[in-house]
Amino acid sequence: MKSKKIIIERENGTGKILLNRPDKRNSLDEEMIGEITKAISEFETNKDIKCIIITGAGGNFCSGLYLDYLQKISEYNIIENKIDSSKFKNMLLAIYNCPKPVIAMVDGFALAGGCGIASACDMIICSDKSQFGYTEVKIGFIPAIVMVFLLKKVSETHAKELLITSKFITGEEAFRIGLVNQVVPQQELEKYVKKLCDDICKLPGSSIRLTKEMFRNISSMSFDGSLEYAVDLNAITRMTDECKHGIMNFLSKSKTNK
């Protein structure tokens, strides 16, 4: 399925959202934000899709908000700005709360809101030609919504340096501070991410879903509360067909290897 500003692809259990404005470094506007949110929702309910990739066309991931869009929101009143900000928040939440693994495949620039999209993903795999930057402060804006997701990736020390200075960092530096999971040569990026998704697609979907649910919930719980919650999910997982089947296979292989 093609749309004006994103391309949606499906292959071997993996869904891909390709940000498709290469001449504008895949910058975001209201329409594109809505399309991304809708695509994530559709992949979430598609039983054939087990893993999701978000990436950009033309050698860049996403450079944040499009200039015309920035001009438009600069003329909004406080109510209009709050409504518009909520749409961006809802897009990032759709990515973060998706029960299926979402992987950002980053090449070139991932800036401002583009960094926000990557930060909301479960994993970020980037090329050795990628650059990351939160540039909001430079134009008198603040990285308010994206900060919440960045702080789930890196320490406050690193987050403050990135957000306050608005500096750009390489993929290698992003790996060093824990923002990205892997840095691979540019020519190997797509192959690496495809292999990662193929491996994920072979894993039990119910286990992945419940594991993601735990990540989403335990940060707001007390220590004792999180352990009780873990006990409950442990018991629920043991009742699933995938877990029972997995245990049977494991025990069968163990007996065969004796």
Residues with a catalytic annotation lie at 136
Produce one character per residue of 153-181: b if its CB has 16 or more CB atoms within 10 Å, e if not.
Answer: bbeeebbeebbeebeebebebbbebebbb
Residue bearing tokens 């992949």: 43
C-alpha–C-alpha distance, residues 177 and 142, integer Å: 22
Q: Could you tell me the sign of the dihedral formed by the alpha carbons of 33, 35, 39, 42, in that order?
A: positive
Q: Pull the structure tokens for residue 203.
A: 């894993």
Residue bearing tokens 């409950």: 232
What's the gap between Cα 255 and its chain centre?
40
Of residues 145, 120, 153, 111, the one with CA closest to residue 26: 111
C-alpha–C-alpha distance, residues 32 and 27, integer Å: 9
Of residues 39, 41, 30, 49, the one with CA closest to residue 1: 39
Cβ neighbors of 237 (< 8 A, separation 6 or more) are 206, 207, 210, 243
The DSSP 8-state label assigned to residue 2 in this structure reads B
Query: Beta strands 123-127 and 102-106: pairing type?
Result: parallel
